Structure 1
Amino acid sequence: MSIKKEEDRSYPRKILDYMEGFLVSKTLFAACELGVFECLHDSERPLSAAEVARALGTSEDGTERLLSACAGLELLSAQRGDEEVLYRNTEMSDRYLTKASPQSLYHSIQYNSKTIYLCWHYLTDAVREGRNQYQKAFGVSSKDLFEALYRSEAEMVKFMQLMNSVWNICGRDVVTAFDLSSFRTIYDLGGCSGALARQCTMAYPECTVTIFDLPKVVQTAREHFLSIEDKRILFHEGDFFEDELPEADLYILARILHDWTDERNVELLTKVYRSCRAGGAVLVVEALLSEDDSGPLTAQLYSLNMLVQTEGKERRASEYRRLLAAAGFSHIQVQRTGKIYDAVLARKQ
């Protein structure tokens, strides 16, 4: 064995990377929160740390260190000027980290920083207790999951902004994983901001999509997220566990089933089956775990997040097949997109 290989074996690079992973996340979070990427996007030329600090009202020393770290993470490009280092956004940062970009992940980052990160402080307790950690993280009861999730209007808007940015990035992949053009009347249960409904109407111009969600969510979606000019996106106020579901050709459950226990999911899917027209279907959108527990890592980490935040978990395709079959659905198909979220289509004969 070479000396180089022996040295590599004695240096725990991967463990060190994992141990310090939160430093990377918080660097990204802080840069977004302070407005670093907006500042550089708005500038017509690269800026020095001193110029960015003056624009943001931050310390020059702290700003220089933050910009240097962002350059190391390839979120910024750095070039040496005559007397100082000058910074500008990378193409990736301009596209995904500035608020005005159609593909912005800014609000997802804010939600991760301000909400999810605080819940994960109690991950050890969540594993010990087997339940979410809203009580410890925010001092609110999680007896009603969405009362905890939407514990204030500001928190509800933050969550809706998170979902909006997620579906602006991933929505088209999941609504086109199968050909849904034969389904004209679609209900998006828990449709939140309407971003996935919008992706659906763009992909299938002949369909109408109704967002079925809690009254306060529908009101906020109408006011802040969707244009009233889009006549193919409608609204229905209700609680899908408590209220009757209108008849439709297709129901979309996107990032819904992972919030709940198997028992609650069979209850919901049975309601969907009963309301679904003959020949209709349900489209389940989730991050699917592999059958042999080998990954994907993102879905495995998301499942831990479900532990600290909800009553549910991420599941394997076979588990969703069992839940759908238990509710009466058949001809269950699975389509992996190669990205975060996958699609499962099940039909009612």
Structure 2
Amino acid sequence: MAEHQERGSDRAQAIEAYPRKILQYMEGFLISKTVFTACELGVFDTLHEAQRPLSAAELSAALGASLDGMERLLAACTGLELLTTQQENERVLYSNTEEARVYLTHSSPVSLYHSIQYSSKTIYLCWHYLTDAIREGTNQYEKAFGVNSKDLFQALYRSDEEMVKFMQLMNSIWNICGRDVIRAFDLSPFKVICDLGGCSGALAKHCTSTYPQCTVTIFDLPTVVRTSREHFVTSAHSRIGFHEGDFFKDPIPKADLYILARILHDWTDQCCVELLSRVYKACNPGGAVLLVEALLFEDGSGPLTAQLYSLNMLVQTEGRERTAAQYTALLTAAGFTSVQHRFTGKTYDTVLGRKQT
């Protein structure tokens, strides 16, 4: 007993001596803003385009920044292992790491640049009001941006520029994660697919490349469809079509499979059942619905990313992240059966519900 108390006392003293984890959490926003700022200023792009290591003086001149500020930013990015350094005489020269080149440069096909821009300019500002969101149980668009948030997507798409930024965010996410979620289940039996809220069409492109016999119709708001046609989906994507409408109000096209990727987490349970019931009615017999969401563990232990995303849903939307069992309950309430789920091991997971023949 005495030995147990002594060990407990030693652990308590070690925790009190240096709360490393808590300090890291306290400073987490400093890391985020450092990465956001380096991207916004063009540090990684400039190093990539130069095709050689650059000094702080060269980067500050190229980017119109103070030398002192640039030196500090580059040092922090080096500490974050996004840049590497080499000594040349008395100068320190900086280069991108391979990870920074692939994911933080604007021109990379799997760049997270637009996702970072959205996080910095939109999500970060909403999170300033997280305490209010938790107290009030409502999203914080009105405080953050002065726009009425009663119509969720009018707030999200409050300007053409903001809509394009949101679509670029979605595009970058599915460029990274799309292949995994589309291959989590064998979707080859479904020839006619409807991607509800398909946005930029990135997931539709993964569908048509993975399953060459399928066609995909992107169902989205008219303004989103126009923007997608203009910026994201070209005539080369011949097996991808569009259908304009509001999936809560307008008829949903008949299909063998409906994909709802990061859709249900925006909405309350009641709205989810309403939407899924409309999907069930439109679905061909023997068809299915595929949900793509960040699944929470049933015991509440994680994943941390999904738990943080659920807070973000509170700050930005009407919805929440859910467990597989909770999505199963929503699907079952709408009429779907034989519900299965798959964890991909990455950010987004899948839930498949079927309509009986």
TM-score (norm 2): 0.96
- 1:171-320 superposed matches below 5 A: 171-320=178-327
Question: Which residue of structure 2 lines up, in the alignment, with residue 164 of structure 1?
Answer: 171
* 3-state DSSP of counterpart to 2:184: coil
Question: Following TM superposition, by how much is the alpha carbon of 1:5 offset from its aligned partner in structure 2, in angstroms?
Answer: 9.4
> Greater CA deviation, 194-203 or 78-87?
78-87
Question: Following TM superposition, by how much is the alpha carbon of 1:53 offset from its aligned partner in structure 2, in angstroms?
Answer: 0.6
1:15 partner amino acid: I
* 3-state DSSP of counterpart to 1:231: coil
Aligned length: 349
Question: Which residue of structure 1 lines up, in the alignment, with residue 342 of structure 2?
Answer: 335
**Partner Cα separation in structure 2 for residue 100 and residue 225 of structure 1:** 15
1:55 partner amino acid: A
* 3-state DSSP of counterpart to 1:168: helix
TM-score (norm 1): 0.98
Q: Does 2:154 align with 1:147?
A: yes
- 1:92-171 superposed matches below 5 A: 92-171=99-178
Question: Following TM superposition, by how much is the alpha carbon of 1:7 offset from its aligned partner in structure 2, in angstroms?
Answer: 4.3
Question: Following TM superposition, by how much is the alpha carbon of 1:276 offset from its aligned partner in structure 2, in angstroms?
Answer: 0.3
2:313 partner amino acid: M
Q: Does 2:331 align with 1:324?
A: yes
Question: Following TM superposition, by how much is the alpha carbon of 1:44 offset from its aligned partner in structure 2, in angstroms?
Answer: 2.3
**Partner Cα separation in structure 2 for residue 73 and residue 8 of structure 1:** 25
Question: Following TM superposition, by how much is the alpha carbon of 1:80 offset from its aligned partner in structure 2, in angstroms?
Answer: 1.9
2:102 partner amino acid: R
Instruction: Decide whether aligned partners of structure 1 residues 340 and 229 sit closer, same or farther in structure 2, where only a CA change above 3 A counts.
Output: same
* 3-state DSSP of counterpart to 1:167: helix
**Partner Cα separation in structure 1 for residue 194 and residue 251 of structure 2:** 13
Structure 1: gaps (5+ residues): none
Output one character per residue of 1:199-231: Cα deviation in whole Å (capped at 9) or x when no partner: 111110110000000000000000001111211
Question: Following TM superposition, by how much is the alpha carbon of 1:10 offset from its aligned partner in structure 2, in angstroms?
Answer: 1.8
After superposition, the CA RMSD in angstroms is: 1.3
* 3-state DSSP of counterpart to 2:340: strand
Structure 2: gaps (5+ residues): 1-6
Question: Which residue of structure 1 lines up, in the alignment, with residue 28 of structure 2?
Answer: 21
2:23 partner amino acid: L
Question: Following TM superposition, by how much is the alpha carbon of 1:238 offset from its aligned partner in structure 2, in angstroms?
Answer: 0.5
* 3-state DSSP of counterpart to 2:295: coil
Where has structure 1 moved over 4 Å in runs of 4 or more?
A: 1-9
**Partner Cα separation in structure 1 for residue 297 and residue 237 of structure 2:** 38
Instruction: Decide whether aligned partners of structure 1 residues 144 and 4 sit closer, same or farther in structure 2, where only a CA change above 3 A counts.
Output: closer
